[in-house]
């Protein structure tokens, strides 16, 4: 893009475009060039957005619509977004460096399909559930109601900007809430476009607001704001801890989807051709910048050299190139800071005794590129095996038997996702039951299915997103009890008032 192609994106508050003097450049990671500018919000803009969201909620313009009416609007939004899917794909890949294949299938394709799923949930969710009739201490009937929380704050990451934002916005809107989104400052373009599309297709102004800005300012204010009833966050575990601390000040509900260090366990009866491709897919999709990536390959000691050789041969065919080229397999990492951080992790691993079997360096060309990297001789106690690198780095660890494989897999602060590669389903299922992980995929990887819950054990998060119960996290539970006893004589009031005048 040349300078004349650079478009400016205001933030969106209360159904209006709101601009600021302070602007941030949006950079294409594949070239290092500025492709857009965006209004840079601060805590004051968050306050304005929360105020607009609260006003919309209190007016009832969205929450008082029936679930069927909300679902119908959400489906209209999906249809309109599909009509301009190419625009959304371009906004996504130009800001975060995804390849066009990934952006089409995962980043945008999944996002719109999952938003449609949340629309379906609005129609099938149990908004009211009768409890059993009680006879003691008096005859009565209770009904459990699910009601919207109010204003939901959504803080989204840069790796899947629209998809992971809609994992929060979708169930929040389906439940009747208003939302304020704080997108990552690198990648606000697709959600800003989506918010505009949503309002053009029936979402009332103020129900969805988008404030790009820095985490320590705009994000921190959203997490601590007294009029925000829930925070949903996807990002690093370190930032998740801070979000939880800030939310505790007003005892907000939180959903946190945090880091991972996924094990890919290759059993000795695995189809090795399938396992090799599956392990590489599990680690190197989107340059390893996926929280549930399988970045630790656990391999039987007697198969280690053979499997590493197969990995290196196959990974050597991964094509890096222009992100808009359909023949490109892998793109860049997000920015120069992350590029340097990844290379530092690789150098640190080598200093601890690991060996580079493939790659291991940044590429000296415009943009922020790191070669697909495979490290051998890694022990699980090494920093490279314990910390989330968030880059195209696969470590291969040897194990002796199934018990040791489980021990290594679980020896982590994280527990987001794992994969098992085996030709024996029974053995795989037994092993899966022993893995401390929110998802375990057998003979597959990256199986994100909107119909099942997603989230992690341990420091990989709090709560779950997706699945048939996704709206639970965006609703409050209210019990309404109706007395059916018919009079004072049937009440247990004499426990306290037995000597009262008749």
Annotated catalytic residues are 257, 291
- Torsion angles phi and psi, residue 416, rounded to 5: -90, -55
Q: Give the pairing type, strands 151-155 and 140-148.
A: unpaired
CA distance 213 to 188: 9
Question: Among 215, 261, 267, 266, which Cα is nearest to 241's?
Answer: 215
- Torsion angles phi and psi, residue 210, rounded to 5: -130, 120
CA distance 434 to 404: 12
- What is the per-residue DSSP string for 445-459? S----TTS-B--EET
Residue 103 is classified by DSSP as I
Reported as half-sphere exposure (CB side, CA atoms, 13 A), residue 78 has a value of: 21
- What is the per-residue DSSP string for 318-378? PPB--TT-TT--B---S-HHHHHHHHHHHHHHHHTT-EEEE--SEE-SSS-EE--EEEES-
Residue 132 is classified by DSSP as P
Q: Which pair of tokens denotes residue 104?
A: 């089409």
* Token pair 């309404």 in the structure block, residue: 480
- DSSP reduced 3-state for 145: strand
- Torsion angles phi and psi, residue 302, rounded to 5: -75, -10
Burial class (CB in 10 A: 0-12, 13-18, 19+), 500: exposed
Q: What angle do CA 346, 349, 351 make, to 5 degrees?
A: 110
Q: How far is CA 432 from CA 99, 156, 426, 438, 443, in A?
A: 32, 30, 10, 11, 12
- What is the per-residue DSSP string for 147-216? EE-SEEEEE--SSSHHHHHHHHHHHHHHTT-EEEEE--TT--HHHHHHHHHHHHTTPPTTSEEE--B-II
- What is the per-residue DSSP string for 210-257? E--B-IIIIIHHHHH-TT--EEEEES-HHHHHHHHHHHHTTT-EEEEE
Question: Among 71, 74, 76, 81, which Cα is nearest to 108's?
Answer: 81
- DSSP reduced 3-state for 263: strand
- Torsion angles phi and psi, residue 105, rounded to 5: -80, -50
């Amino acid at each position: 893009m040349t300078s004349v192609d650079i478009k400016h994106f205001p933030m969106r508050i209360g159904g209006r475009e709101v601009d600021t003097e302070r602007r941030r450049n949006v950079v294409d990671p594949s070239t290092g060039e500025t492709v857009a500018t965006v209004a840079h919000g601060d805590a004051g803009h968050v306050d304005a957005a929360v105020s607009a969201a609260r006003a919309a909620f209190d007016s009832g313009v969205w929450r008082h619509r029936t679930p069927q009416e909300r679902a119908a609007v959400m489906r209209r939004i999906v249809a309109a977004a599909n009509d301009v899917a190419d625009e959304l794909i371009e906004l996504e890949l130009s800001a975060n460096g995804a390849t066009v294949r990934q952006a089409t299938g995962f980043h945008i394709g999944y996002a719109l399909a999952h938003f449609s799923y949340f629309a379906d949930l609005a129609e099938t969710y149990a908004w009211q559930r009768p409890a059993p009739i009680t006879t003691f201490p008096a005859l009565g009937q209770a009904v459990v109601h699910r009601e919207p929380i109010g204003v939901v704050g959504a803080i989204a990451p840069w790796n899947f900007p629209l998809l992971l934002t809609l994992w929060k916005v979708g169930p929040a809107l389906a439940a009747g809430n208003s939302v304020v989104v704080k997108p990552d400052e690198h990648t606000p373009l697709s959600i800003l476009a989506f918010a505009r599309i949503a309002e053009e297709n029936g979402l009332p102004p103020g129900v969805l607001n988008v404030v790009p800005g820095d985490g320590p300012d705009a994000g921190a204010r959203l997490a601590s704001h007294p009029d925000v009833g829930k925070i949903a966050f996807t990002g690093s575990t370190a930032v998740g801890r801070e979000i939880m601390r800030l939310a505790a000040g007003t005892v907000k509900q939180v959903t946190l989807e945090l880091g991972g260090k996924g094990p890919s366990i290759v059993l000795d009866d695995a189809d090795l051709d399938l396992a090799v491709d599956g392990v590489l897919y599990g680690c190197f999709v989107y340059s390893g910048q996926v929280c549930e990536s399988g970045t630790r390959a656990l391999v039987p000691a007697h198969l280690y050299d053979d499997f590493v050789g197969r990995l290196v041969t196959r990974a050597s065919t991964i094509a890096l190139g222009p992100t808009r080229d359909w023949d490109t397999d892998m793109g860049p990492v997000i920015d120069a800071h992350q590029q340097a951080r990844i290379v530092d992790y690789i150098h640190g691993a080598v200093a601890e005794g690991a060996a580079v079997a493939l790659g291991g360096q940044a590429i000296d060309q415009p943009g922020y590129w790191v070669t697909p990297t495979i490290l051998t001789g890694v022990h699980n106690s090494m920093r490279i095996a314990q910390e989330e690198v968030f880059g195209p780095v696969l470590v291969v660890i040897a194990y002796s038997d199934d018990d040791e494989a489980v021990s290594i897999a679980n020896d982590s602060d994280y527990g987001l996702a794992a994969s098992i590669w085996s030709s024996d389903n029974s053995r795989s299922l037994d092993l899966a039951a022993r893995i401390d992980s929110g998802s375990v995929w057998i003979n597959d990887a990256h199986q994100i299915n909107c119909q099942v819950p997603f989230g992690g054990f341990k420091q990989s998060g709090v709560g779950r997103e997706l699945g048939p119960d996704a709206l639970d996290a965006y609703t409050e539970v209210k019990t309404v009890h109706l007395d059916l006893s018919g009079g004072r004589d049937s009440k247990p009031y004499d426990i306290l008032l037995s000597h009262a005048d008749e």
